[in-house]
Structures are given as structure tokens and as C-alpha cells.
Amino acid sequence: MVWNRKLKQLMGSATRAVQQALRQPAGQLLRAQPARQADPPPAPTATMPTGFPFHSIAHWPGQRATQAEDAATAEASPGAPQPSPAEPPGSFTRVAFTQPDALHPHAHHYHLYVPPAATAGGARPLLLMLHGCTQTPADFAAGTGMNEAAARANVLVLYPEQTHRANRHGCWNWFRPEDQRRDRGEPGLLMAMVQDVMARHRVDAGRIYVAGLSAGGAMAALLAREYPDVFAAAGVHSGLPAGAAHNMMTALSAMKHGAQPHARTQPVASPGQRVVPVIVFHGDADEAVHARNGDQVVAATLGSLVGGAAVLDQVVEQGASPAGQLYTRTVYRRALISGGRVVAEHWLLRGGGHAWSGGSAQGSYTDPAGVSATDEMLRFFLSHRR
């Protein structure tokens, strides 16, 4: 299939790069990829109406405080740019963004979908959607159909855009140690984007979710591990467990075979510490990221619970999508004595490849014949509150 050919080409390029690096002096293997001078300029966007009041959770360390501070600065400096207004209901907008307090600030972008009913009722859930390699936010939104589903559920959807300056293939750098820690590297950037959206829209801080495909799925697993106080639930589609790799070589190994046993995935939670529930989709015929990784994402979540899998009830269901693709769905729920809440859900897609299950052919890396990962993820997310 087209996506497998593309990914094989990318993996072949990465393998050749590693082989070339091994012939170079030690230390050059972890060098950053060559940077482009600049990304293409964004398409012009229409002027938006006045923004909503600031509604946010506690600020993360190192991030700028409030929209009010920006307004005060603008008032003190005539001609300074005004705070970004809120995007209107029913819009899907590309937003320019610079990370506050970054040591080396660069221009970034994200797309934000605001549901048509955004002005009705109170605060809304927010879903952070992380695309895979070679994808864009618009492509990812079209392929997953998440905006249409979010419109029905009245959910804001944030699609960060990886720059080719950071990764030449547009991948999130889930395998680099500097991008695996709270408030640092790409996790810090993504959290700053979340806070930027919360500064302009009424977001329910108890219902913030994260999901991703492939490299985006691996980054979603990392964010769930690093920010259990932020995310109410996480979705990992064809991704890898947090801490599965620490450089390109171990990343390729994990993609092909699964994470090594010594890899740092998720620590056991201390009594009272929250564990982020996770829903996982993975095809058992995935040639780009081995299905063992999906098992390991679930195992990391279960292993982080005090008492582990021993305190859970497990239910296994066999089924098929409307188009006939078979799947095995395994649900892990806390025993009734512990509240009976679902902590993990694993969909193993029989014959599924490296593609978003149930997605649209209008986007890349999708399998329209599969069960709808979009609908099932939203169902799972909205059943959880932090």
C-alpha cells in the first residue's frame, strides 16, 4: 500500500543515516538534523472577533502568565500587537505561535477547530491531536474526520504543526531525551500551545485529552506520562510507549521489534497519584511500527497502577467493523471494589496496517475499512474527567 511504501522509504533513509553516522566519530549520532532557514509563510487568515475571558488551569513553570499581561504590555507600548482574538465558532484556523520564554524562540503554527456550538453552554473539552510523519494538521484532520466528530460532541481540537526545521520528515521527536521531559523541548512547546488556546477559549481544565498517530502517538504517550495532572485520558494509534528509545538507533529497533525491556516507560505511581487512562489502536500487520508496541503502551499504564494488573478486571470482545475488518477489543477496568473505572482499552486490528482505523481516504495513512478510531477515542475520552 502507498503508506507502507512511503514509510519503508523513510525508514530506509533513516537506516542509511544511522549507518553513515556509525562511521563517524562518537557523539555525532545525536546531532540535530540540518535546519531549513525558514518555513513557508502561513496563508493569510481573516480578522477574528474579540476574544473570550481567560480560563486556565495553573500555569506550567516557565510559561508566560495571562492574556491580561499581554494587554497591559500592549497598552503601555503604542503600536504593539494586540493579544490574539479567539477564533469564531465553526472555524478551522491556522494560528501563528511563538513559545513564551523560549531560549531560542522560533515561529510555530497550530490549527484550531472550534465547534459551531462553542458559544452555547459553559467550558468545553479540548483534544490535542498530534499528526504522524510527513503529515500536516489539515491532512490529519481530513483523514481522521475528527473535526466532524468534535462538532457533534462540542469539543475544541488543537492540531500542532511540526516544523521541518525540527525534523526534516515532520515527525515529532519522541526518541530524543531532550524531548521526553516535562516542560522541556517539544513537550514544553505543546503544553504552551494548549495554554495559548485556553487563554482565548473557555476550556474545561478537567477534560483535556491527547491523541496521536505513529510518531504523534508516541509523543501522546510521553505527554500522558509527563503531565498526569493535565490530561484526563490519552489515545495512542500505531505508536510506541513513552521512553521506548533515546536515539535514532533505538527508535528504529523499537519500531521494528518493540521497546527493549530496560527502556524507561512509565514508573509505578505512588499511592494517591493519578494514572492517565489510555486507549490504544494498533494493526497486527503494521510493518512500520510493530504491534508489540501497542501491547507495551497498555502494559506501561497497567504497570504504573499500584497493585498492577492484579487489581483489574479484564473483558475481551471479538468483533468486526461495518466493512468487515476483524478486531479484538480488550478492556481493563478497576475491580468494583476500587470503583470500576476503565483504565485501558486495547483495539488490536486484524490485518490492519500503519493507518488510522476507519479514517477517510481524503487524508494520508488511513484505513476506511476499519472500525472508527475517531468515534471510539472520543467516546473513551468523554467518559473520563481528571
- Distance, CA of 318 to CA of 180 (rounded, Å): 35
Beta strand pairing call for 233-237 and 203-213: parallel
Query: Which residues are 126's β-sheet partners?
Result: 156, 208
Beta strand pairing call for 92-98 and 107-113: antiparallel
Q: Radius of gyration of the chain from Cα atoms?
A: 20
Q: Which residue has the higher pLDDT, 236 or 338?
A: 236
Distance between alpha carbon 107 and the CA centroid of its chain, in Å? 20
Q: Which three cell numbers stand for residue 143?
A: 483523514
Give the pLDDT of residue 309.
61
Give the pLDDT of residue 272.
54
What pLDDT band is residue 98 in, cutting at 50, 70 and 90? Answer: confident
Mean pLDDT taken over the chain: 80
Q: Which amino acid is at 324?
A: G
- Distance, CA of 344 to CA of 235 (rounded, Å): 10
Q: Which three cell numbers stand for residue 353?
A: 496496517
pTM above 0.85, yes or no: no
> How many C-beta atoms surround the C-beta of residue 270 within 10 A?
7
Q: What is the pLDDT of residues 281-305, one digit of tens each?
A: 999 999 999 999 999 999 999 988 8
Q: Which three cell numbers stand for residue 101?
A: 520564554
Give the pLDDT of residue 239.
98
CB 137 within 8 A of CB 226: no
Residues 6+ positions from 4 with CB-CB distance below 8 Å:
287, 288, 353, 354
Average pLDDT over residues 314-320: 96
Q: Which three cell numbers stand for residue 361?
A: 481516504
Q: What is the spatial order of strands in the sheet that 203-213 belongs to?
A: 92-98, 107-113, 156-161, 124-130, 203-213, 233-237, 278-283, 342-349, 326-334, 312-320
Give the pLDDT of residue 246.
94
Burial 9-22 (b: 16+ CB within 10 A, else e): ebeeebeeeeeebe
Q: Which residue has the higher pLDDT, 335 or 279?
A: 279
Burial 332-363 (b: 16+ CB within 10 A, else e): bbbeeeeeeebbbbbbbbeebbbbbbbbeeeb
Is the pLDDT reported for residue 357 higher than 70? yes
What pLDDT band is residue 237 in, cutting at 50, 70 and 90? Answer: very high
Average pLDDT over residues 206-226: 97
Average pLDDT over residues 301-327: 87
Q: Which of 48-62, 264-278, 292-306, 356-370 bottoms out in mean pLDDT, i.e. has the lowest?
A: 48-62
Q: What is the pLDDT of residues 160-193, one digit of tens each?
A: 999 999 999 999 999 999 999 999 999 999 999 9
Q: Which three cell numbers stand for residue 54?
A: 481567560
CB 108 within 8 A of CB 152: no
